Amino acid sequence: MSDEYVFNDDAVGTWTEPTAFEVARERVAEYAAATNDPVPAHRSGDLASPVFAIVPVFEAMMEPAFEVLPIQAIPRIVHGEQDFHFHRPITPGQTLSSRAQMLGYDGLENGTAAAALIECRDEAGNLVNEQYVTVFVRGINAGRTVGSLGPTHKFDESLRSVAPVAKVAQHIDDDQTFRYAGPSGDPNPIHVDADVARDVGLPGIINHGLCTMAFASWAVLTEVAHSDVTRLTRFAVRFAKPVLPGQDMETTIWLVGSEGGFTTYQFETTVGEDVVIKDGLAVIAD
């Protein structure tokens, strides 16, 4: 690793100051509409859809990266994995408080993987959700391992020999990214400005990874959880390839098994032959 890339190990494991977010019914409903979510409770704003959980923590999410990673690394960061652990649903009228810490990082041949943990709590201090966010810093190898990364959710390849329990056809609308940018609070221009996207080597505007993840979440909920978000206790993915506006996707779901009152499923989302979401994991209360 070049001496110019300085990783601040002292900030690993240090919590950021909490940030507050007021949950508005309109924002919940707008997010559901922006992700083509068909679940009535989400579309009405009565209950937040699973991936909406990223919205209240968005400000806190990147703070640990700014504290630990070299400043030159920030433009090289891509979202690698997202792992939600749900304890209670998000509902309108709540004021949520979020804080984050960098768990650690691992220097690899072609870059560095770094993982943060985010806690989101309600006004009473109850844990609403925990989120493990893994980012990848392209082209900067830290040259060492510090701390730890998030929990694993690797796809079991033996499941491919078993018939899936469901396949859900989905479509990314031409205006999907423009509709998603506002309710999600994600202003990254690669999702709304074709020139900026091409300047960084992309073929054009790409769908937000978390929007693609939201599509997968409602596919799982509608097929194996009776559209009941309160039963979803964990939802994790690895982002494999970008999705373009106008493309058709398919989310395929396999049953892993049940234990202790919970049923585990694994899934992946594809565009044609390309896997765009891999290592998908959903745990649902029976």
Could you give the residue ranges of the DSSP H alpha helices within the chain? 25-34, 40-43, 54-61, 63-68, 176-184, 194-199, 209-224
Contact 215, 268 (CB under 8 A): no
What's residue 45's pLDDT? 98
Backbone angles phi, psi at 204, to 5 degrees: 155, -165
In contact, 30 and 10? CB cutoff 8 Å: no
Instruction: Find the range with the poorest average confidence among 3-12, 78-87, 119-128, 145-154.
Output: 3-12
Q: Total domain count for the chain?
A: 1
Q: Is the dihedral of CA 214, 220, 226, 228 positive or negative?
A: negative
Length of the chain: 286
At residue 11 the predicted structure's pLDDT band, cuts being 50, 70 and 90, is very high
pLDDT for the residue numbered 201: 85
CB atoms within 10 A of CB 251: 25
CATH number, domain of 181, equals: 3.10.129.10
Strand partners, 232: 284
Average pLDDT, stretch 156-173? Answer: 98
Mean residue pLDDT of the chain comes to: 95
**Rounded mean pLDDT, 151-162:** 97
**Among 158-162, 199-203, 243-247, which is the least confidently predicted range?**
199-203
Domain annotation covers residue 3: no
Q: What is the pLDDT of residues 266-283, one digit of tens each?
A: 999 999 999 999 999 999
The token pair that represents 275 in the structure block:
């896997």
166 lies in some domain: yes
Q: Specify the pLDDT at position 80.
A: 95
Residue of 85, 79, 190 whose CA lies nearest to 138: 79
191-226 CB burial, b ≥16 within 10 A, e <16: bbeeeebeeeeeeebbbbbbbbbbbbbbbbbbbbbe
* Domain membership flag for residue 58: yes
Whether residue 225 lies inside any domain: the answer is yes
- CB-CB contact of 248 with 169 (8 Å): yes
Q: For 40-94, how does the pLDDT look when each residue is reduced to its tens digit (9 = 90+)?
A: 999 999 999 999 999 999 989 989 999 999 988 888 889 999 999 999 999 999 9
Place of tokens 């709540």: 94
pLDDT score at 75: 81
Whether 2 maps to a domain, the answer reads no
In the predicted model, what is the mean pLDDT of residues 98-111?
96
pLDDT of residue 3: 53
Q: What SS3 class is residue 26?
A: helix
Does 68 reside within a domain?
A: yes
Mean pLDDT of 147-173: 97
Give residue for tokens 């925990």: 130
**Single-letter residue type at 28:** V
Give the residue among 35, 78, 80 at the shortest CA–CA distance from 249.
35
pLDDT at 188: 87
Q: Which residues form the domain of 122?
A: 9-285
pLDDT at 146 over 80: yes
